[in-house]
Chain A
Amino acid sequence: MVRVHWDMRAWTGWGPLPAAEVRSFRLLPVSLSGDVLTPVENWREGTRTGHSHERHEVTLQLDGLGRQLSELIMDPGVPEGSEGPVFVDASGRRSKSLRRVGWLLAAVCAGYAVTLVVAVLGGSSDAPWLPLTGQHEKSAETGVRPAPAEPLGSGTAPAAVPAAEPPAELPQSPVQPVDTAVLPVEEPEGAR
């Protein structure tokens, strides 16, 4: 589809011709006020529907309104089947509700972006302290179990002993800060 720009201007008026004259066209320009329409001399010849136009275009300047009025009263005035410009909602209701939706969407998106930025930046890389109460390797001996027979707290010893059968389940050892403090002290001597 090729068109050079067509600068359409404000609407000035329209009026349907009487039904008898031009049946099918709903849209014809009609001058309203003070605008001179110079009929070209030769267009009258042979024109099929000429003279009705001519009457419109010339006499309207004088009593065009009157004539127009009477014609309009005869004619429904709104061309049948035409509901006006497509999509246009003169009341603005659709626009308002869509604006609200738009703000909501914008807020959601902004919230999303902020969430991401906050989450990705910062954050602690520390680990929660995990107390260990046993099973330190003292010597470099290979082999299974040199674990020293330290005075460990209750319930933590069994794993160190090369027991023939493993205990059914290892009880959770209560935190024994005292023991952990004890063990590391002994370690360095054995390790090196």
Chain B
Amino acid sequence: MTRPAPRVGSHRKKRAKRRLPMRYLLPSVLLVALLAMLMLRGYVHSEVLADHRVQPPAPTTQVPANVLEGGPVIDARSATEPAKTLRIPDHKIVLTFDDGPDPVWTPRVLDAMKKYDAHGVFFVTGTMASRHPGLVQRMVDEGHEIGLHTFNHPDLSYQSPKRIDWELSQNQLVLAGAAGIRTSLFRPPYSSFSAAMDNKSWPVTQYIGSRGYLTVVNNTDSEDWKRPGVRAIIERATPEGGQGAIILMHDSGGDRSQTVAALDTFLPAMEQRGYEFTHLTAALGASSAHTPATGFALLKGKAFVSAVGVSERITDVLVVGLAVIGVLVMARFGLMLLLSFLHARRVRGKGFSWGPPLARPVSVLVPAYNERECIAATVRSLVASDYPIEIIVIDDGSTDGTADIVRALRLPNVRVVRQHNAGKPAALNNGIAHARYDIVVMMDGDTVFEPSTVRELVQPFADSRVGAVAGNAKVGNRDSLIGAWQHIEYVMGFNLDRRMYDLLGCMPTIPGAVGAFRREALDRVGGMSDDTLAEDTDVTMALHRDGWRVVYAENARAWTEAPESVQQLWSQRYRWSYGTMQAIWKHRRAVIERGPSGRFGRVGLPFVSLFMVVAPLLAPLIDVFLLYGLVFGPTGKTVAAWFGVLVVQAVCAAYAFRLDRERMVHLISLPLQQILYRQLMYVVLLQSWITALTGGRLRWQKLRRTGVVGTPGAQRTGRAAAGRDRRPVA
């Protein structure tokens, strides 16, 4: 029983409109999430909002004398009383480590402290703590104290109170998430002794105090960040004459191997001399500086820290992906240049020939559907061919009188075959069935041949192993911007590729605009199939699997009109992309087969999949990281890298243009193509993947009838040709 397919289709189209377009919604949402993750990565890697300015020293007239001459712990918390300082009692050392936690050095520091039963204070930055929450938890577990060191390590004397608040709250948030605590200790970045307080840093300390923090500077600077050597570090860190000390050290921010090594000697040495290594509140005799975080604050902290973890892992994966696509792109360029050079040298070499020159007539098939404007030019260009041909125009049920136009031309050796509208594969098969000769040239209804095209195209058949030949399709309308982009694409992307694939023996597709097939080969693989939307790719792969050679005839030029509107281009590329994926999937069994099919399946198919499916899928990463680098990262290097890739591409394109003897002037639009055109192709590829995954049917695909063929009046095409390439329903 037949079903009226178009009606179902139009109904489905109406229904589809009411549902949410998941195929656009989901990728957009994913993209937003990805951007958020990248921003978060930039944020916690201090690549965004980081302020690396350091304030030069300023006068100290406004700093209270007792602070300047006081101890290293400044208590400016009281609103009513002036600030006080505290000293560390004798024979107590408070080891403080700034800028941690670091995944490499902090564990070693912690190990050393644990070994000698020493405790200290770690002033952690929010960025590092969010990335290594486990280390913060370990610090708390092993009895150390934690203090704030801001989120991003800016010099607070340059920042507004709002910014200071933000640094503090974000730092507390991360602490809450990492170890479930809030702390009351604070050390400003770039701090030194109390005596080094000046007019710029004192107001900051006052403000910090008003938020309830104890500002902890140091009175003994080991200067370990300068890496002066283990002995120098120990010397500078040793307090004088039994006095209490707060020692400044670092467990992050560079190579801290000297610090770790120094600890191994310093800790036992000081303990032997009667010092005790405690954390700050223990030394001061106060209760712990930690307070458990509870409720919503704890929840927020934990959510933030896990969000950072997710972002880190995913962006690491993306970075790997970027490396992969980078390698693929460079490899492709390298291969293209090398192999096209070899191909050109081979076929243009003096002694090269396919075999004895072919002179027997061939059949040219011109499937046409509503090509009223172009068909006359097409047929006339064929008639002007300098090679004996018979021309068969297959009219696929045109409604604009295409067939009549051809018949009215009254040209000899032009035949018109009419058929009920059934699609291009059916039309081609019909043409093949009507063809007299054993070599069949296939073209499109609006392609224009040169007089020498057919001759150049069929010469390779002198080699009996050749089953099909791809011609050189050229864009005629190359003066518009979109035409120029496609022109570059055809010359570089398609034709340079074809040389490469010819040499490798795995040409994936023969252009529908200009291709020739051996009829015997077509018979063997069963003609054109409508399983896929890219029947030319399908049949070419089938030929490979059957053991035929598929080659490229560079001088068989055919002129075609590329889509001029974005809509048409989108449509065309969508079909090509989806059809190619269909063809690859259809022939996937070749991977495990033997013989020529296996060779194609194990060499050609993966190669083609890699460069025509995987690489375009990963290519958006280039743009994503380009944006990231411009906004967050090393801008100069990013721009340089992008230009580097552009230059390589320009070189390839220039070489392709030279091989084809094209004028280089159209290369001017190459940079813009990298910014706009490629992105369009991403969206196309993405939509093809979605359609392939969800199993939707594209408008151009036929229903397969399985039973008795229709009743009279069963479907003519109900849908008028309203608009040539409307968007597919999927």
Q: Mark B530-541, 1 if CB is under 8 A from A, else 0.
A: 111010110000
In the complex, what residues of B have CB within 8 A of residue A118's CB?
Answer: 300, 303
Q: Please give, as numbers and ranges, the residues of chain A lying within 8 Å of B444 by CB-CB distance.
A: 3-4, 6
In the bound assembly, the distance between CA atoms of A11 and B717 in angstroms comes to: 7
Determine whether the beta carbon of A29 is less than 8 Å from that of B426.
yes
Interface residue? B32 (CB, 8 A): yes
Which residues on the A side are within 8 Å of B40 (C-beta)? 116
* A residues in contact with B719, CB < 8 Å: 9-10
Interface residues of A in 128-177 (CB under 8 A from B): 128-137, 140, 142, 144-145, 155-156, 158-160, 162-163, 165-166, 169-170, 172-175
Q: Report the nearest B residue to A1, measured CB to CB.
A: B509
Q: Are B186 and A127 in contact (CB under 8 A)?
A: yes
CB B244 to nearest CB in A, in angstroms, measures 8
Q: B561 to chain A: which residues have CB within 8 Å?
A: 4
User: Measured between alpha carbons, how far is A11 from B703 in the docked complex, in Å?
Assistant: 7
- The one of A6, A12, A49, A115 in contact with B420, judged by C-beta atoms closer than 8 angstroms, is A12
Q: Does A19 make an interface contact (CB < 8 A)? A: no
> B697 and A85: CB pair below 8 A?
yes
State how many residues of chain A have any CB contact under 8 Å with chain B: 116
In the complex with contacts A1-B511, A130-B287, A132-B284, A119-B304 CB distance below 8 A: yes
Proximity bits, B4-16, A CB within 8 Å = 1, else 0: 0110010000000
Q: Which of B76-84, B335-343, B352-360, B593-601 contacts A (4 or more CB under 8 A)?
A: B76-84
- B713: which of A4, A34, A47, A122 is its contact (CB, 8 Å)? A34
Q: Looking at B89, B514, B530, which has the most chain A CB atoms within 10 Å of its CB?
A: B89
Contact with A along B408-436 (1 / 0, CB 8 A): 00000001111111111111011011101
Determine if A110 and B29 form an interchain contact, defined as CB atoms under 8 angstroms apart: yes
Please tell me if A59 contacts chain B, counting CB pairs below 8 Å.
Answer: no
* B284 and A28 form a contact (CB under 8 A): no
The chain B residue with its CB closest to the CB of A31 is B420
B706: interface (CB < 8 Å): yes
- CB B709 to nearest CB in A, in angstroms, measures 5
Q: Are A77's CB and B473's CB within 8 A?
A: no
Q: Say how far A22's CB is from chain B's closest CB, in angstroms.
A: 6
Question: A2 with B65: in contact, given A9-B717, A144-B243 (CB under 8 Å)?
Answer: no
Expressed in whole angstroms, the Cα–Cα distance for A123 and B5 within the complex equals 60
- The answer to whether the Cβ of B636 comes within 8 Å of any Cβ in the partner chain is no
Write the nearest CB–CB distance from B239 to chain A, whole angstroms.
11
Across the two chains, which residue of chain A brings its CB closest to B425? A27
Q: How far is the CA of A110 from the CA of B31 in the complex (A)?
A: 11
Q: Are B434 and A163 touching (Cβ within 8 A)?
A: no
Q: How far is the CA of A131 from the CA of B92 in the complex (A)?
A: 20
Q: Which of B164, B490, B692 contacts A87 (CB 8 A)?
A: B692
Nearest CB to that of A117 among chain B residues? B36
B97 CB-CB contact with A under 8 Å: no
Query: B residues within 8 A CB of A79?
Result: 526
Closest chain-B Cβ to A157's Cβ sits at a distance in Å of 8
Q: Is A109 an interface residue (CB 8 A)?
A: yes
Chain A CB within 8 A of B707 CB: yes
Partner of B511, one of A2, A102, A134: A2
Establish whether residues B693 and A136, one from each chain, have CB atoms under 8 Å apart when the complex forms. Answer: no
CB distance from B311 to the nearest CB of A (A): 9
Question: Which A19-76 residues sit within 8 Å CB-CB of chain B?
Answer: 22-35, 37-38, 40, 42-43, 46-50, 53, 65, 68-69, 72
Q: Mask for B655-695, Cβ within 8 A of A = 1, else 0?
A: 00000000000000000000000000000000000011111
* B-contact bits for A88-122, CB 8 A (1 contact / 0 none): 11101111001100110110011011011011101
B585: Cβ under 8 A from any A Cβ: yes
- Structural contact, B717 and A10, CB atoms closer than 8 A: yes
A86-B585, A119-B307, A137-B87 in contact; A7/B693 too (CB < 8 A)? no
Across the interface, A26 reaches (CB within 8 A) one of B5, B423, B526, B714, namely B526
Stretch at the interface among B50-58, B131-139, B207-215, B317-325: B207-215
Choice from B89, B286, B710 contacting A33 with Cβ under 8 Å: B710
Inter-subunit contact B369/A159 (CB<8 Å): no
Other-chain residue from B425, B693, B707, B724 in contact with A77 (beta carbon distance below 8 A): B707
Say yes or no: is B451 at the interface (Cβ < 8 Å to chain A): no
> Residue-by-residue, is B695-730 near A (CB-CB < 8 Å gives 1, otherwise 0)?
111001111111111111111111101001100000
Bound-state Cα–Cα, A14 to B429, Å: 12
Which A residues are in CB contact (< 8 Å) with B199? none
Set A25, A42, A133: member contacting B429, Cβ < 8 A: A25
Q: Which listed residue, A2, A7, A99, A188, touches B724 by the CB 8 Å rule? A: A7
Q: Is B638 an interface residue (CB 8 A)?
A: no
B75 A132 Cβ-Cβ under 8 A? yes
Within 8 A of A (CB), among B513-528: 513-514, 522-524, 526-528
B386 to chain A, nearest CB (A): 22
Min C-beta distance of B178 to chain A, whole Å = 13
Residues of B within 8 A of A94 (CB): 693-695
A104 to B643, CA, bound (A): 39
Residue B282 is within 8 A (CB to CB) of chain A in the complex: yes
In the assembled complex, the Cα of A7 lies from the Cα of B446 at a distance in Å of 13
List residues of chain B with CB within 8 A of the CB of A192. 65-66
- Which of chain A's residues have a CB closer than 8 A to the CB of B415? 40, 42-43
Q: How far is the CA of A189 from the CA of B434 in the complex (A)?
A: 115
Cβ A133 vs Cβ B291 within 8 A? no
Query: Cβ of B473: which chain A residues have Cβ within 8 Å of it?
Result: 2
Complex CA distance for A91 and B276, rounded to whole angstroms: 76
Taking a contact as CB atoms closer than 8 A, the residue among A12, A90, A95 that contacts B422 in the complex is A12
Which B-chain residue is minimally distant from A81 (CB atoms)? Answer: B526
In contact, B286 and A14 (Cβ under 8 angstroms): no
Minimum CB–CB distance for A135 against chain B, Å: 5
Residue of A nearest to B304 (CB): A119
Chain B nearest CB, measured from A53 CB (Å): 7
Kindly provide the distance from the CB of B368 to the nearest chain A CB, expressed in whole angstroms. Answer: 9
Q: Which of B172, B286, B715 contacts A132 (CB 8 A)?
A: B286
- Residues of chain B within 8 A (CB-CB) of A124 are 169, 172, 297
In the complex the two chains form, is B84's CB within 8 Å of A92's CB? Answer: no
Contact A3 B715 (CB under 8 A): no
Instruction: Indicate with 1 or 0, residue by residue over B432-453, a CB within 8 angstroms of chain A CB atoms.
Output: 1110100000001111000000
Taking the complex as formed, is B483 at the interface, i.e. its CB lies under 8 A from any CB of chain A? no
Question: Which residues of chain B come closer than 8 Å to A10, judged between CB atoms?
Answer: 5-6, 9, 421, 702, 715-719
Chain B 578-607 interface 0/1 with A at a Cβ cutoff of 8 Å (1 = within):
100111011000000000000000000000
Query: Which of A1, A124, A132, A169 has the largest count of B CB atoms less than 10 A from its CB?
Result: A1
In the complex, residue of chain B having the shortest beta-carbon distance to the beta carbon of A115: B303
Q: Is B640 an interface residue (CB 8 A)?
A: no
Q: Are A27 and B530 in contact (CB under 8 A)?
A: yes
A187: chain B residues at CB < 8 Å are 81, 84
A182 within 8 A of B: no
Q: Does B33 contact A (CB under 8 A)?
A: yes
Complex-state Cα separation, A163 to B396, whole angstroms? 107
Q: Chain A residue with minimal CB distance to B418? A: A37
The contact of B307 among A31, A84, A87, A112, by CB within 8 Å, is: A112
Asked if B253 CB lies within 8 Å of chain A CBs, one says no
Q: Are A1 and B165 in contact (CB under 8 A)?
A: no
A residues with a Cβ closer than 8 A to B are 1-15, 22-35, 37-38, 40, 42-43, 46-50, 53, 65, 68-69, 72, 77-79, 81-90, 92-95, 98-99, 102-103, 105-106, 109-110, 112-113, 115-116, 118-120, 122-137, 140, 142, 144-145, 155-156, 158-160, 162-163, 165-166, 169-170, 172-175, 184, 187-188, 191-192
26 cross-chain CB contacts under 8 A: A1-B511, A2-B447, A4-B447, A7-B700, A7-B725, A10-B9, A10-B716, A11-B5, A12-B422, A12-B710, A24-B523, A25-B432, A27-B527, A32-B714, A35-B397, A37-B419, A40-B418, A68-B708, A98-B693, A124-B297, A128-B184, A132-B286, A136-B84, A137-B85, A172-B287, A173-B286
Q: Which 4 A-B pairs have the closest CB atoms?
A: A89-B695, A2-B473, A123-B169, A109-B33
14 additional contacts, CB 8 Å, given A84-B531, A94-B694? Answer: A2-B558, A3-B536, A24-B523, A27-B422, A30-B709, A32-B712, A85-B532, A89-B696, A93-B695, A125-B172, A129-B184, A137-B71, A137-B87, A166-B276
